[in-house]
Amino acid sequence: MTTSDQRAPADLEARAKALSLYGLLSHWSEIGGSSWVADLIGWEEAERARRSLERRLKTAKIGRFKPLCDFDWTWPTQCDQGAIADLMGLDFVRHAHNVVLIGPNGVGKTTLARNIAHQALLAGHTVLFTTAGAMLGELAALDSDSALRRRLRAYTQPDLVCIDEIGYLSYGDRHADLLFEVVSRRYEAKSLLLTTNRPFSEWPEVFPNAACVVSLIDRIIHHAEILAIDGESYRAREARERSEKRMALRKKKKPS
């Protein structure tokens, strides 16, 4: 018997233990060498992986998005495609670092963030995708400390939390404090992926009079990849193209 043949039953037994297949393990001395055992364990692993992915996809709330293969990289005047490809490798998640995508409305920040979040799910990570408005509105509406603590745990536990659209609305001091709490709880422990249409120098306008803004930014950027994306809005371009098509059709239909 070769060394690899000797290791195979032990490897299968370890996989059965990882799956908590105690009924199978209780008869391991009788059936451990049977050819069907490897198939059974493989089926169980595949089914559990499928169910796990389904649960994590549902919990993540990423929503529908355009895949990167359909992303028009030529449209933004500034977008580092190589840096995005590196982020899809997910090293930043493994090292509990952050990512910040900064750019004007409609240049693809949310699409890129959703692609990265989906890739993290496929790699086995837990993910939560939300907007700044939805998250801060939900947390601010909680009327008891115990409810707030429970909900904050939901934003603390996932391997990756994506907070979209920071800067589209202005927030009061309580909202700023709540965002600071989320960021602080995840600082150097779990990753954040943020999208914003405002440079950090303008965040005091997003959270006017909030005392924590400087500390908030400091924690976000300490271990962060910050990518700037620039260009005209995709939505504005698509609206213009639709308008031009309608005008062209009307001209064709207009009697001479």
- Domains, in order of start, for the chain: 1-32 (no CATH), 68-236 (3.40.50.300)
In the numeric block, the tokens 């249409």 are attached to 197
Q: Which residues contact 236 (CB under 8 A, 6 or more apart)?
A: 106
Lowest mean pLDDT among 59-73, 116-130, 218-232: 59-73
Q: Is the pTM here over 0.85, yes or no?
A: no
Query: How far is residue 223's CA from residue 205's CA, in Å, rounded to a whole number?
Result: 24
Is the per-residue pLDDT at 136 higher than 50? yes
Which DSSP helix (H) or strand (E) runs through 229? none
pLDDT of the residue at 149? 94
Res 7: pLDDT = 43
**Does an H or E element contain 160, and which?**
strand 160-166
Q: Output the average pLDDT for the chain.
A: 90
* Assigned token pair, 139: 């947390």
Q: Starting from the edge strand earliest in sequence, which strands make up the sheet with 224-228, in order?
A: 127-131, 160-166, 191-196, 98-102, 224-228
Strand partners, 166: 196
pLDDT band at 31 (very low <50, low <70, confident <90, very high): confident
pLDDT in tens, 150-207: 999 999 999 999 999 999 999 999 999 999 999 999 999 999 999 999 999 999 999 9
pLDDT at 240 > cutoff 50: yes
Residue type at 100 in one-letter notation: V
